[in-house]
Every structure is written in structure tokens, then in C-alpha cells.
A and B are shown apart, each in its own frame.
Chain A
């Protein structure tokens, strides 16, 4: 579905962000992209929809070669790729509905988007998506009135409003607390299963990546150093990707976090029942 062939990006400063990255993602597969800061994870997913221009190699989405598309063709292609961002990247001063509908901008002419007169089907889809991500009551609120987790849900709805074939997800949980992070990752995973969507998720949190992806790709200094099932991600592989560290301790800490979250949930449920 998505195919990268020796993708290379060298910035004008001479920094080589990606060297000869090649892999293929079939439809419906959720790929976790892990690696230390500066490994080129962000650059990689931005090369896929050419928010960053690659300097070498090729990218194919289905039969279309993304590298080498002219500006107009690129716009049409971008409709097929949804993107979810680290700090949500919602347009803060627009309403939730406008933000979700902005996912249709590639499909509607300028005057329709300017007058905010989107086709009825688009609006119906937007309502359905808000319902799916659990924000039906918030359609009319301004985006900056929502909490972090809610905003990321709007971000997900906006990406899905495009009716994409591929999701690019850039650090979706970096600004969220552990519990909300898990909920958001679970939501992304479920949605990908429902729609047979492929996704590439940049993620710092190794334990989250293992829990919610089908495949892990490890990036170090712009090169793929690991590509395999999440279960194969052991201490030696982590050391290969990130360098020396006590990984067992990280797993224990994560487990404690999770247990805390579960205990908190149980406590709330008990309180709700008591009422």
C-alpha cells in the first residue's frame, strides 16, 4: 500500500535526516516508528505527504509515486493521507465542527469552504465521526475550550473526515497524561481495524508502541536499525536503537503507572456505584 524506496533527506544545513530508508506497509497495518530524538521520525512521516521535500528515493502510495507529483496532483494525493499531530495542531479559534470539516478542504472548492457551506454528506460524516470519538456534545465549542485528550480526538476526527487510506501520526501522546495516552492509542488502533487503515505512528513511549501496534520500526540517525513484531523488541534491540539503559526498570515503571491508572478507575467505578 505504502512503499518507501531508499528515501533520503538531507537538509540545506547539510544534516542528513534520513539515509536510504526502505520499507513497505500493507493496508490495515499499524506501524510504530520509534527512535531517539533527532533520529528522523518526524522528517520521515512528513516526507510521505511532502510537507518536507525528500532529496532522494521514491515513495509510492498504491500505484501513485508521491515523489515527483506536481503541486496540483500533490493536493489531490494529500486527501488520501490523514495526519494527526503532537500538539493537536487544531485551529484554536475555530469551532470543533469547522476543524473536523477542514478535513474536506481538499475536496470542496474555495467558495464553499469560505462560506462554510460544506456538502450535507460531509457534515453528516463529521457528526458521525464526532459521535465515534465521543465528542457529540462539543461540535459547537471553540477548539481552545477543550482538554488535551478531547483536542486529540478532534484531530483524529479531522484526519478521518478526509476518508484517508493512510494515517500519519506524529507523537500523538506526547502532551497527554498516561491514561489519556492509552485511550488515544487504543482509539487509533480500533479505528485502523474498523476501516482497514494503514498507519505510521511516531512514538517516544516504547511500552505504548508495543501495546498498540502490529509492527515496530526502529530508527537511529536516519537509518532503519530494527523492523519486526513488537514482541521481538527486547533489551538488546532497545540498546541498539537508543543506546545503553536499564530497560527492565522502564518496564517496571510503566507497569506501576498502569496499575495506578487501573486502581484509579476501580476507585471511580466504586464511587459511582455507591452513589
Chain B
């Protein structure tokens, strides 16, 4: 009991002695588990390779530098493809995610028993599969190229946008909804006047954030045949053209920095 008495004086402690003991036992257990896992993990490590690692890193580094600056000419079109893939994919994701979010939010779903679980399942399954895996599947289904990449990005974005958006919908101020309902507004009008204005800033922020993530992800989707910079990366890696790989890395880095800056600016502007 946190509040007790010692020599007639009331004392307060954050935890009971029993809770403290349990806490210590818990930490001890965690440390033991960590030590055990470490052993399992390193059992199959070949230490010769690990000792060699610094030398290998220096070797690859020396081959990667300097970057092949002239290669940029051949990267511009794939870069454009990558940006389009990210943007169109985000757009597709948004179009699919908005209805899913409204079905998943407890306060807007038409049926808590049936539609809400379905919407939540869509969100979870979209989130549980990485874009790269989506692309792998889609390249097999609709063939290599940008379309597979766009759809992969779109499908992965549904979960992200859907989840954050439905959480935003669930956090809205109910009294504004009540007030608009009291005027005799229809369901559509309540959504337009009471719900959309409240979630609009969150919606813009989430979308731009996802677009920013999608640019990073679409840069590597080419590795599995979905077009864009990744395709060039694959080709360069295959022929061990390390200076070209470095150049691609630099282009990806630059793009990500710019997209992050844009997304930060946009999110700043809407609040």
C-alpha cells in the first residue's frame, strides 16, 4: 500500500514493496533473456568475416569514389519516373484510404459490427506488407514497369493514411457535430460542415507525410522491376559499376532532402 504509517506518521511511497520486488524481477528476466538471445544470434556468425569488415568497407568505399558525375544524364528520366510513381501512388492511396477511414472510425462508420472490422482488416493488411513485397507481387501480376510501382505504393499507402485519418476522425470535437445535427442537416451535410473542417489539417499533413515517405520507397522499387531509379541501381550493381551506384545514392539523397523540406513547409502552412 503506497500510503502507510511508520511510528504514527503517514508515509507515502510510489510503489508497494511487492511491486518493487516484481519490477526488479522483471528487469532481471529481461537482462537474462537478452544475454541468451545474444548467444543464439552469434552462434552462426563467422567471425573471420567480421574481423575483415573494416578492410572490406574501405575497399568498397575506394571503388565507389569518386562518383561518376556524368551518369546524372541517364538518371534524370528514371528520377522523373520515381517522382511520378510516388505522387500517383500517393494519390491512389488517398482515394482508396479516405472511404476506408470513414468506415473504420467508430463515430462515422455505418455499421460497427460488420463494416468497421472489414475496414480495419484492410488497413492492417495494407500496413503489414512492405511496399517492396507489394511491388514484387504486382510485377508478377501486371508485369514490370511503372504501373506495378504506382499500384504497390498506393496499396501500401492505404493502411498508413487510413489508420492516421481514422484516428483523427475519432478525435474530433463531438459538440460541433451535435450542433450541426441539431439544425436538421443530413448525413452528408454533417460530414461536410462538422467533420471535414475538423480533420482537414490532419488530412493534409498525413498526405504530404506519406508522399515524402513514398518518394523514398519508390526510389528502390525498381530493384524488383517496378521502374524508376531502382532499376538503374539494379543494373549498376549487377555490373559492379560502383561509381554509378554512388551517383544514384546522391540523387536519392538530394530528392529525399527536397521532399522532406517541401513536406515540412506544407505541414507548417496548414495548421
Which A positions have Cβ atoms within 8 angstroms of B?
49, 51, 75-79, 81-83, 85-87, 89-94, 98, 102-107, 110, 113-114, 155, 158, 162, 168
Contact = CB atoms under 8 A, between A and B. Distances in A.
Q: Which 10 A-B pairs have the closest CB atoms?
A: A106-B184, A78-B184, A105-B185, A89-B179, A89-B175, A79-B184, A83-B182, A93-B197, A75-B184, A105-B189
A87 B175 contact: yes
Given A93-B200, A114-B192, A51 B175 contact: no
A37 B173 CA distance: 22
B182 A94 contact: no
Contacts of A110: 186, 188-189, 192
Max chain B C-beta neighbours (<10 A), residue from A49, A75, A91, A162? A91
Interface string B168-194: 000001011011111111101100111
Contacts of A92: 173, 176, 197-198
Contact of A51 (B173, B181, B185, B197): B181
* Chain B: interface size category: 20 to 34
Given A105-B189, A110-B189, A113-B189, A90 B176 contact: yes
Contacts of B194: 91
A91 B198 contact: yes
Given A51-B182, A76-B184, A81-B182, 15 more contacts: A51-B178, A75-B184, A78-B184, A79-B183, A79-B184, A89-B173, A90-B176, A93-B201, A102-B180, A106-B184, A107-B184, A110-B188, A110-B189, A113-B185, A113-B192
A199 to B, nearest CB: 14
A91 B182 contact: no
B182 A102 contact: no
Contact of A102 (B178, B186, B193, B198): B193
A42 to B, nearest CB: 11
A162 B184 contact: yes
Contacts of B192: 110, 113-114
B183 A78 contact: yes
Max chain B C-beta neighbours (<10 A), residue from A76, A81, A105? A105
Nearest to B181: A51
A104 B186 CA distance: 11
Given A89-B176, A91-B176, A110-B188, A158 B183 contact: yes
A77 B184 contact: yes
A47 B7 CA distance: 57
A104 B185 CA distance: 8
Max chain B C-beta neighbours (<10 A), residue from A75, A76, A79? A75
Given A102-B180, A113-B193, A75 B186 contact: yes
A94 B194 CA distance: 9
Contact of B197 (A49, A89, A94, A114): A94
Contacts of B186: 75, 105, 110
A91 B174 CA distance: 11
B224 to A, nearest CB: 43
25 contacts: A49-B182, A75-B184, A75-B185, A77-B184, A78-B184, A79-B183, A79-B184, A81-B182, A85-B178, A90-B179, A91-B176, A92-B176, A93-B200, A94-B193, A94-B197, A98-B193, A105-B185, A105-B186, A110-B192, A113-B185, A113-B189, A114-B188, A155-B179, A158-B179, A162-B183
